[in-house]
């Protein structure tokens, strides 16, 4: 297959992730974003507002999602344009399989996917700030502090992906979306359509990526995850210097330069930059993949650490308190909280949560370890007390029992539940569970929404129903649903953080 190259004006494709799964016996919700996968056409919930991008086989439309009035980006993908490698054996988009385990604050969130005879429809969060390419054209050159802010988020997302054995293979500014926050660059890595799972026993082949950002070894059909590191090095070079890495005027000439004289960073070429930034550039753009720095090593580089320190604030104590007092004894409540966090809460509402997650995530790998929590709690209590607190937090929040707190696990413990559990939001959630519009929720509808139709142990689902079915009629009406969700003590109050 030839190299996939994208012109500068190509709209970034929106990426998607896999629906969450429930373990059959314990009904444990794995972290991540719920993604509805509909086999039937469900576009009637969306009102098209404007076209925001297009490519050879897809277009992206800004829509209003009518149940919540929130804005979402919907990518319409023509089935005829998908390659074999972009489909799984069941003829669904390969991106779904690639992202099924990813749960990171800097990876684009997907809400649902459905299809008709000719197209897939992929609904994702909308990033009103556009893409990084447009920002580069506007600013020309970034300060080192702003570049480091962007690079930290990219390296954190990449560390997380690589440790999940996911290789992006098409990192470029057009595939890095911006939330559009004032005076702050919150980025979302998008377009995992060319991604793959790394097999340590075999090197990868197949030429993916765009000319400026493609790693030299990719052109030899013998590469691994370090191809993503090279791409980030090129992005960092452009951010800091304001100029492209190669002088070619077309794809063919750029590819030739990548083959014959790939970019080599010397202090002379980047005159005026700090020695720390030049050092990281040289490590990211090392010609030998074996000697090239890893994402985990790069996210802790002194240049990144220097600028990360400036992000710290004093409101982390309230988040630590929220983690301690969070309690959700009901599995159905827990599932609804995750569902609300992933389907209803906007990025504007979770800005503080995302910020505090990354402050606690000291090594930037996209998850909070028990050691990282211990570090914070030991500042205000004894080692034994801190150990007991951390063990209790993990017992309550670590749903997949991997010894870490993932992003969504953190999210449900810290968002303003009093706001989320408002009448308005609970009515929205109820309608999303009530798939047939009957005004009641059945076991089958709970299973369909939370598990996307996979078989589970019927007794466990019945136990979920019994938690809320106060009148014993075999289903949950709106009044019972709201009563269940409000019957909760020790609700954290993140709005206190927002006032600091």
Please state, in angstroms and rounded to a whole number, the distance separating the CA atoms of residues 184 and 476: 43
pLDDT of residue 21: 31
Per-residue pLDDT averaged across 279-299, rounded? Answer: 96
* Beta-carbon contacts of residue 468 (< 8 Å; ≥ 6 apart): 332, 476, 480, 481, 483, 484
Both tokens of residue 335? Answer: 């599932």
Q: What is the pLDDT of residue 140?
A: 81
Token pair belonging to 340: 């609300």
CB 131 within 8 A of CB 23: no
- Rg, C-alpha atoms of the chain: 23
Query: In this predicted structure, what is the pLDDT of residue 208?
Result: 66
Q: Return the pLDDT at 290.
A: 95
Q: Of 226, 299, 209, 200, nearest to 1 (Cα)?
A: 209
Alpha carbon 263 to its chain centroid, in Å, reads: 30
For residue 168, the SS3 value is: coil
Q: Is 76 annotated as a binding residue?
A: yes
More confident: 181 or 419: 181
Instruction: Read off the pLDDT band of 10 (50, 70, 90).
Output: very low
CA 96 to chain centroid: 13
Residues in the chain: 500
Per-residue pLDDT, 361: 94
Helix (H, G, I), strand (E, B) or coil at 478: helix
Residues 6+ apart with CB under 8 A from 334: 29, 328, 399, 412
The secondary structure of the chain in percent helix, strand, coil, rounded to multiples of 5, reads 45, 15, 45
What's the CA gap between 298 and 267, in Å, rounded? 19
Q: Name 101's Cβ contacts closer than 8 Å, sequence gap at least 6.
A: 18, 32, 164
Catalytic residues: 170
141 pLDDT above the threshold of 90 = no
Is pLDDT of 30 > 50? no
pLDDT-above-70 percentage for the chain: 76
Domains in the chain, start-ordered, CATH in brackets?
36-125 (3.30.200.20), 132-310 (1.10.510.10), 316-498 (1.10.238.10)
pLDDT category of residue 398 using cuts at 50, 70 and 90: confident
Higher model confidence: residue 332 or residue 216?
Answer: 216
Rounded to the nearest integer, the mean pLDDT of the chain is 79
Distances (CA, A) of 484 to 142, 421, 458: 50, 11, 21
Give the mean pLDDT of 349-366.
Answer: 87
Strands (E), 362-411: 368-369, 404-405
From 163-167, 239-243, 298-302, 470-474, the region with the lowest mean pLDDT: 470-474
pTM: 0.81
The two tokens of residue 471 are 């009148």
Q: Which residue has the higher pLDDT, 234 or 80?
A: 234
Edge to edge, what strands does the sheet with 36-37 contain?
A: 36-37, 110-115, 119-125, 70-78, 58-65, 46-54
Return the H-helix or E-strand segment holding 123.
Answer: strand 119-125
Take residue 17 and report the two structure tokens written for it: 């992730």
Would you state the pLDDT for residue 122?
84
Task: Find, among 354, 415, 299, 6, the residue nearest to 188 by Cα.
Answer: 354
């Amino acid at each position: 297959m030839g190299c996939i190259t994208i012109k500068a004006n190509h709209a970034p494709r929106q990426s998607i992730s896999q629906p969450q799964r429930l373990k059959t016996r314990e009904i444990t919700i794995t972290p991540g974003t719920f993604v509805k996968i509909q086999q039937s056409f469900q576009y009637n919930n969306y009102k098209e507002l404007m076209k925001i991008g297009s490519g050879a086989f897809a277009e992206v439309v800004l829509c209003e999602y009518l149940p919540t009035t929130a804005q979402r980006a919907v990518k319409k993908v023509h089935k005829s344009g998908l390659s074999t490698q972009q489909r799984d054996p069941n003829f669904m988009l390969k991106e779904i399989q690639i992202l099924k385990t990813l749960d990171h604050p800097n990876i684009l969130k997907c809400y649902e996917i459905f299809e008709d005879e000719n197209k897939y429809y992929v609904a994702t969060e909308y990033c009103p700030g556009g893409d990084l390419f447009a920002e580069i054209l506007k600013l020309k050159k970034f300060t080192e502090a702003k570049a480091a802010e962007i690079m930290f988020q990219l390296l954190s997302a990449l560390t997380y992906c690589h440790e999940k054995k996911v290789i992006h293979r098409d990192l470029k500014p057009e595939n890095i979306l911006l939330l559009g926050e004032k005076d702050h660059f919150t980025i979302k890595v998008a377009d995992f359509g060319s991604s793959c799972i790394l097999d340590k026993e075999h090197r990868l082949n197949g030429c993916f990526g765009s000319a400026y950002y493609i790693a030299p070894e990719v052109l030899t059909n013998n590469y691994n995850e370090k191809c993503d590191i090279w791409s980030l090095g090129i992005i960092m070079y452009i951010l800091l210097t304001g100029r492209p890495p190669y002088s070619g005027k077309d794809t063919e000439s750029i590819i030739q330069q990548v083959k014959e004289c790939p970019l080599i960073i010397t202090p002379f070429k980047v005159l005026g930059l700090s020695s720390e930034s030049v050092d990281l550039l040289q490590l990211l753009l090392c010609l030998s993949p074996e000697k090239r720095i890893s994402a985990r090593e790069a996210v802790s580089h002194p240049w990144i650490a220097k600028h990360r320190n400036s992000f710290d604030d004093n409101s982390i104590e309230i988040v630590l308190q929220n983690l301690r007092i969070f309690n959700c004894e009901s599995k159905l409540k827990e599932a609804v909280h995750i569902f609300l966090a992933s389907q209803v809460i906007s990025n504007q509402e979770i800005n503080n949560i995302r910020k505090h997650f990354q402050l606690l995530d000291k090594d930037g790998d996209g998850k909070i370890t028990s050691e990282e929590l211990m570090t914070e709690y030991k500042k205000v209590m004894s080692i034994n007390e801190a150990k007991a607190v951390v063990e209790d937090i993990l017992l309550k929040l670590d749903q997949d029992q991997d010894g870490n707190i993932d992003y969504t696990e953190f999210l449900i413990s810290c968002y303003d539940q009093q706001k989320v559990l408002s009448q308005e939001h609970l009515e929205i959630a109820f309608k999303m569970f009530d798939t047939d519009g009957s005004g009641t929720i059945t076991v089958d509808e709970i299973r369909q929404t939370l598990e996307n139709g996979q078989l589970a142990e019927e007794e466990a689902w019945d136990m979920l129903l019994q938690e809320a079915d106060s009148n014993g009629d075999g289903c949950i009406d709106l009044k019972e649903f709201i009563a269940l969700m409000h019957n909760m003590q020790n609700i954290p109050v993140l709005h206190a953080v927002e006032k600091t």
